[in-house]
């Protein structure tokens, strides 16, 4: 049980049927997905220290909800949704309910939504991952979250709009703007 | 004008798709401990509830048995 040749779906079935205390199948699933989970938690939360706690909570939540996995999507997509929900709830708790709930056209031109200058100024690190971290950490939640949900997790625009509670057009605009800002800031750091 | 291909601004950022941090060495251990702790807590709660329900049921039965008029007389041996 838990051999690396099995598909995620078979491992989920094995983990659900395993006797209490037998975590071998789940361990294999965890090995495959923990890096992605922790990476995403790191950048969604924007906080290195919170990332480990969040990744742990996401993996534990996934374990206790394995029997709800119906195989309609891949396991990676399924755990990705748990991760996004968990990280957004964490941000709502720590930063307040309205951290991203900005959906008025007038507010779209708010300076707080633009972080290019701040992000540009912080691009000093030479290594790729460090430079990406600095650019992402320099972006506001309003731009960083939809960008990560789209380009890192592969969620659809509609799913992002639903998760964040903002309009579809606002999501598309923010992702476009976030990509532009990222490319400018990241390009200047090279 | 330039012959360089124009980068599509709506194209997903490849840098993010490929981005991955090394998992923290303590992550697996923390997940295992958390799962075991929660499983133990759930089992303990289930056991406590079972004990509570069983005790309450036994208590109720003893009250019913002691209630006047509900005590069944011992059946007499009717052989023969």
Rounded Cα gap, residues A37 and B30, in angstroms? 14
% of residues, chain B, pLDDT over 70: 75
pLDDT in tens, A34-81: 999 999 999 998 888 889 999 999 999 999 999 999 888 899 989 999
Chain B contact for A39 (CB, 8 A cutoff): yes
Asked if B31's CB is within 8 angstroms of A147's CB, the reply is no
Structure tokens of A57? 């909570």
- For tokens 């039965």, the residue is B61
**A110 touches B at CB < 8 Å:** no
Helix (H) or strand (E) holding B4: none
- A36 contact residues in B (CB cutoff 8 A): 20
Å between B74 CA and nearest CA of chain A: 47
CB-based burial label for A123 (10 Å; 0-12, 13-18, 19+):
buried
Is residue A83 less than 8 Å (CB to CB) from chain B?
no
Task: Please indicate if any CB of chain B lies within 8 Å of the CB of A125.
Answer: no
CA torsion through residues B34, B35, B40, B45, sign: positive
- The model's pTM: 0.74
């Amino acid at each position: 049980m838990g051999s690396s040749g099995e598909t995620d779906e078979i491992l989920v079935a094995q983990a659900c049927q395993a006797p209490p205390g037998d975590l071998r199948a789940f361990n294999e699933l965890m090995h495959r997905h923990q890096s992605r989970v922790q990476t995403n938690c790191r950048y969604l939360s924007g906080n290195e220290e919170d990332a480990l706690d969040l990744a742990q909570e996401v993996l534990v939540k996934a374990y206790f909800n394995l029997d709800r996995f119906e195989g309609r999507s891949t396991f990676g997509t399924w755990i990705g949704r748990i991760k996004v929900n968990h990280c957004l709830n964490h941000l709502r708790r720590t930063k307040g309910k309205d951290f991203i709930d900005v959906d008025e056209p007038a507010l779209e031109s708010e300076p707080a939504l633009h972080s290019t200058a701040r992000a540009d100024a912080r691009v000093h690190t030479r290594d790729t991952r460090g430079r990406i971290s600095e650019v992402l950490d320099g972006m506001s939640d309003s731009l960083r979250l939809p960008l990560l949900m789209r380009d890192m997790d592969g969620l659809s625009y509609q799913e992002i709009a639903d998760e964040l509670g903002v309009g579809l057009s606002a999501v598309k605009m923010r992702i476009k703007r976030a990509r532009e800002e990222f490319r400018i800031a990241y390009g200047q750091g090279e | 004008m330039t012959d360089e291909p124009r980068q599509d601004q709506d194209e997903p950022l490849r840098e993010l798709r490929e981005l991955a941090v090394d998992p923290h060495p303590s992550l697996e251990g923390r997940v295992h401990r958390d799962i075991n702790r929660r499983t133990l807590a759930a089992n303990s709660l289930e056991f406590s509830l079972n004990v509570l329900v069983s005790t309450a049921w036994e208590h109720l039965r003893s009250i019913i048995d002691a209630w006047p008029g509900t005590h069944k007389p011992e059946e007499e041996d009717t052989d023969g």
